[in-house]
Structure 1
Amino acid sequence: PTVVGGLNDNQVGDLIDIAVKNNDVVRGVNFQPVSITGRIDYEKRKEMRITIPDLINDIDEQTNGRIKPDDWFPVPAMAPIGRALGLMRGQPQVEMGCHAACGMSTFIFINEDGEYEPITQIIDVDKFIEIAVEISNLYAEGKREPSKRSKVKLAALVRHFKKKGMLKDLLTLFLKKAEYETLAQFMRGVIMIGTMHFMDAYNMDLERVQHCPINYAIPDGRIIPFCTYNSIHRQDVESKFGMTFDEWRDSHKPTKMEEETITKPEFDGKKHR
């Protein structure tokens, strides 16, 4: 959900409660502080603006301290875990390499009584990340038998679980096998709470843009970061490359799958953006 200051920023705790009560179908809640577009005067922008720290403090207050600011981690903090798993498996894994200011996340574990607690109450996440970095270094430094040494370090991670139970068992199993099904079992026991703040023309940060992992591929070959595309380039790109559905069909030979799955919408023949 998009969060707007003065509009719905007092409902973030309620949204988390809704997710917890419907955890059989909800796997995560990803809050998006509003990205302000268009001509809006300063006072209105100031009223609407909400930052990631604002949101995290609101969640702390509205959950009565159950999800504290210290329970959150920048998205790229998880990169060492993906890197370590990739090295151990001999197959690259997804590494979240965006700028640290782009987003934050945490996980909450739902107990049998329906109450929840953040994952930081179950495992020492800082130590978890530290061990992942150490495993990556074993491979990078060309240490002898890095695979065996990595497993020893991974086994040591068990000491940093603060509580026993299903979550510990599932996470341990996933780290050993790193298979989709064990990850799925883990995710069915938790809810991801996250936030990603897409930039606008009023808070553009070039350093963040340079680390953007979400990009648009433009027909002329350019790769444009998400935030700059929406704030700067979208109108020009759509004006240059936009076309009606009929124009697209006339210039594009559809594959068999496209022919079978694409239904022609009722367009009025004008360009739609």
Structure 2
Amino acid sequence: MPDKVRPYLFLELTNSICAHCHRKVEAKIVAEENRVYMLKHCMQHGRQKVLISTDLEYYRRSRTFIKPGEMPLKWNTPIRYGCPYDCGLCPDHEQHSCLSLIEITDRCNLECPICYAESSPHRLSYRPLEQIESMLDAVVANEGEPDVVQISGGEPTLHPRFFEILDAAKARPIKHLMVNTNGIRISQDRAFVERLASYMPGFEIYLQFDSFDRDTLMELRGADLREVRRRALEHLNEFNLSTTLVVTLKKGRNDKEIGDILNYAVRQRAVRGVTFQPIQEAGRTEDFDSGENRLTLSEVRQGILDQTDLFAPDDLLPVPCHPDCLAMGYALKLGDEVIPLTGLIPPETLLEGTRSTIVFEQDPEIKNRLFSLFSTAHSPDSSALSLKQLLCCLPLLQVPEPISYDNVFRVIIMKFMDAHDLDIRSVKKSCVHIVHPDGRIIPFDTYNLFYRDGKEEELERLREERMPPWERING
């Protein structure tokens, strides 16, 4: 019997990049006790160990929540250097754009210490309307009818042609349009919010909402935004303008407020849910943290379970299009009552179908189980409105007529990879993409690493290293 045993359980092999020089390296995924790590070695910078998950059981379960990739209508770049150096999308990518971000300005009225885009009041550029329309057309060309397009920045509400941009987006076959905002203008200008509300339905505000604590907001955003958030939600509630609260989480700072934010959110008339995003080490946050100090998706999920009674473990499931980095829980708000939905749906149902994320009309038993919670006066066949229209990633399921988007409450955990934990196997499944000004469609994870601002200069160096010697000579 050998007397030497590895201190870990080897789970799988993938590729990653060195956290320092960004060269592509081989990586092991291993389990130690209940935790999952990535182990990689760079010839120049040595061994690197990165925490991936604090919940081995959930990590393994996420590997079973995978469905065939849903392709875009067209590809934008060829395969030449290999992932992640060909983003655009290239034909080797495994998932279309569930959510496409279009950044319309680098200018912002804040200078957040955690900004991945390094936006600030000192950056004065606004994208021309014609270029933004071209970017919108690129998304439509790829998707046909894009699921979600998010107008972002910088702070997009500062753009001098902001409403013309919204008009251009609404003129295209986009199912759901969002505006990603810090809420300052919304808090100051009631008439602005009233005009925003005129873009409903199929329109939503993605409102930055990180903390109730002044010191935390100063650390994350560089400003005490408590009153801004209060006034913004007052205006959004007045017009019942569909809103998602977006919480950027930093370990040891605001991760103890997960439950407080969720319990607050369900009491807001306009709020349809909360998205939790652990900090991605990009932009101003590069090298702020690493190793054991990283906040993983599993920790956020456990925080939701520990800090609030809204969801049980089976209500917070991996999202099949990208289960490594996305988790979801859906519920209905009925007065003061919140009824979780996700745990009532058999997990295998989430994996059925190809082009449609979920197909579930065929299961009358589950229909009737859900309907017994909603109403005694309606049958599953009595309504023309479906949850598929209300909730992305949930089954097509008829609901009673009184139920509307106002009754939706969803929780999303959205973990973006960075140079420390980039998993090439996983990034190929990324479905949250940023539109490059030239029309390429690039995964959020790799865009902030390689394609933002002047970072493609470094990318060219990495590409050249991977180029076959005969091509270097000829090129």
Alignment TM-score, normalising by the size of structure 1? 0.59
Structure 1 residue runs of 4 or more that deviate by more than 6 Å after TM superposition: 175-180
Match of 1:21 in 2: 267
Match of 1:57 in 2: 302
Quick one: distance in 1 between partners of 2:377 and 2:249? Answer: 33
CA deviation after TM superposition for structure 1 residue 120, in Å? 4.4
1:129 to 303, 328, 349: 349
Quick one: distance in 2 between partners of 1:12 and 1:162? Answer: 30
Match of 1:256 in 2: none
CA deviation after TM superposition for structure 1 residue 215, in Å? 2.9
**Backbone CA RMSD of aligned residues:** 3.8
- Superposed CA offset, 1:217-255 (max 9, x none): 44556443221110122133688xxxxxxxxxxxxxxxx
Change (3 A) 1:36 1:168: farther
Quick one: distance in 1 between partners of 2:408 and 2:387? Answer: 19
Quick one: distance in 2 between partners of 1:170 and 1:223? Answer: 43
Match of 1:165 in 2: 374
Change (3 A) 1:32 1:164: same
2:323 to 100, 103, 106: 100
Gap runs ≥5 in structure 2: 1-246, 355-359, 391-398, 458-475
Change (3 A) 1:236 1:28: same
Higher relative strand content: 2
Partner SS, residue 271 of structure 2: coil
Matches within 5 A, 1:190-201: 190-201=408-419
Q: Is the 8 A contact 1:5 1:47 kept in 2?
A: no
Match of 1:262 in 2: none
Gap runs ≥5 in structure 1: 77-96, 138-149, 240-273
Q: Is the 8 A contact 2:367 2:380 kept in 1?
A: no
- Superposed CA offset, 1:46-81 (max 9, x none): 465211110111111111x442222112222xxxxx
Residue type matched to 1:69 in 2? P
Change (3 A) 1:67 1:177: closer
1:116 to 333, 338, 361: 338
- Superposed CA offset, 1:187-215 (max 9, x none): 31131111111111111111121122233
Aligned length: 196
Quick one: distance in 2 between partners of 1:26 and 1:48? Answer: 31
Matches within 5 A, 1:133-148: 133=352, 136=353
Q: Is the 8 A contact 2:449 2:455 kept in 1?
A: no
Q: Is the 8 A contact 1:161 1:168 kept in 2?
A: no
Quick one: distance in 1 between partners of 2:316 and 2:387? Answer: 26
Larger RCO, structure (CA 8 Å, separation 6 or more): 1
Match of 1:75 in 2: 319
Higher relative helix content: 1
Q: Is the 8 A contact 1:4 1:48 kept in 2?
A: no
Quick one: distance in 2 between partners of 1:176 and 1:218? Answer: 34
Q: Is the 8 A contact 2:328 2:411 kept in 1?
A: yes
Partner SS, residue 256 of structure 2: coil
Partner SS, residue 161 of structure 1: helix
Q: Is the 8 A contact 1:103 1:195 kept in 2?
A: yes
Change (3 A) 1:168 1:7: farther
1:10 to 247, 250, 256: 256
- Superposed CA offset, 1:14-40 (max 9, x none): 010111111x11011111011123542
